[in-house]
Amino acid sequence: MKNIENTHAAQHTFASQHPQVPRALLYDLEEMCELCHISRSYLFALIKNREISIVKLGRRTLVPAEEVNRLIANHLKPAL
């Protein structure tokens, strides 16, 4: 049990030091809005315009963690 706790602690430390490493594989829409600091309506617009991919599991709509990095990369503006 201690080994599992140490592994989890190490993963959490690594993820907190490397923000590009997702802490979850999928985010629900509310988590995605909070994570990206965007409104729910803007998230729905991104989904509608196919700027981010979603996963449907039953009635749940989830966003893969990779989409966070892709969304940021697609909206980066070059430094002046």
Look at residue 78 and give its three-state secondary structure. Answer: coil
**Distance between CA 43 and CA 29 in Å, rounded?**
8
Whether pTM > 0.75 for this model: the answer is no
DSSP letter string, 48-77:
HTTSS--EEETTEEEEETHHHHHHHHHT--
Residue pLDDT, tens place only, 40-68: 999 999 999 999 999 999 999 999 999 98
Sheet strand arrangement including 26-28: 26-28, 60-64, 55-57
Domains of the chain with bracketed CATH: 24-80 (1.10.1660)
How high does pLDDT run on average in the chain?
Answer: 80
**Distance between CA 7 and CA 56 in Å, rounded?**
30
